[in-house]
A = this chain, B = another copy of it.
Amino acid sequence: MSHFADRVIAAIRARRTPLCVGLDPRHESLPESIRQRHPATTAGRAAAYEEFCHRVIDIVAPHVCVVKPQSAFFEACGPAGMVALQHVLRYAKWRGLLTILDAKRNDIASTAEAYAEAAFHVYDADALTVNPYLGRDSMEPFLKVGRRTRRGLFVLVRTSNPGGGQFQESEVAGRPLFNHVAAAVQSWSAEHPGTSGFGDVGAVVGATKPAELGQLRKEMPAAILLVPGYGAQGGTSADTAAAFDSQGLGAIVNSSRGIICSFKPNELNWEASVERATREAIEDLAKNTPAGRMKTSSQ
Q: Which of B122, B137, B167 contacts A177 (CB 8 A)?
A: B167
Q: Which of B105, B137, B170 contacts A180 (CB 8 A)?
A: B170
In the assembled complex, the Cα of A69 lies from the Cα of B172 at a distance in Å of 35
Residues of B within 8 A of A24 (CB): 111
Given the known inter-chain contacts A131-B133, A159-B134, please indicate yes or no for A76 contacting B167, CB distance below 8 A.
Answer: no
In the assembled complex, the Cα of A194 lies from the Cα of B145 at a distance in Å of 43
Residues of B within 8 A of A164 (CB): 108, 134-135, 137-138
Interface: A33 (CB within 8 A) = no
Query: Which among A50-58, A79-87, A240-248, A276-284 touches the partner chain?
Result: A79-87
Task: Judge whether A76 and B172 touch: CB under 8 Å.
Answer: no
Task: Judge whether A86 and B79 touch: CB under 8 Å.
Answer: yes
Q: Which of B136, B162, B171 contacts A166 (CB 8 A)?
A: B136
Chain A: interface size category = 35 or more
Residues of B within 8 A of A83 (CB): 79
| Residues 68-111 of A contacting B (Cβ, < 8 Å) | 70, 72-73, 75-80, 82-83, 86, 104-111
Not counting A79-B82, A135-B159, A135-B166, a sample of 8 additional A-B residue pairs whose C-beta atoms are within 8 angstroms of each other reads A72-B107, A73-B111, A76-B114, A78-B86, A133-B168, A137-B163, A170-B180, A171-B172
Residues of B within 8 A of A163 (CB): 134-138
Nearest Cβ in chain B — how far from A7, in angstroms? 24
- 21 residue pairs bridging A and B, Cβ less than 8 Å apart: A24-B111, A72-B107, A72-B112, A72-B114, A73-B111, A75-B118, A76-B117, A76-B121, A78-B82, A78-B86, A79-B79, A79-B86, A106-B131, A108-B159, A132-B133, A133-B156, A135-B166, A138-B161, A138-B164, A167-B177, A170-B173
Interface: A42 (CB within 8 A) = yes
In the assembled complex, the Cα of A167 lies from the Cα of B171 at a distance in Å of 12
Residues of B within 8 A of A144 (CB): none
Nearest Cβ in chain B — how far from A182, in angstroms? 12
Given the known inter-chain contacts A24-B111, A76-B118, A131-B133, please indicate yes or no for A180 contacting B162, CB distance below 8 A.
Answer: no
Residues of B within 8 A of A287 (CB): none
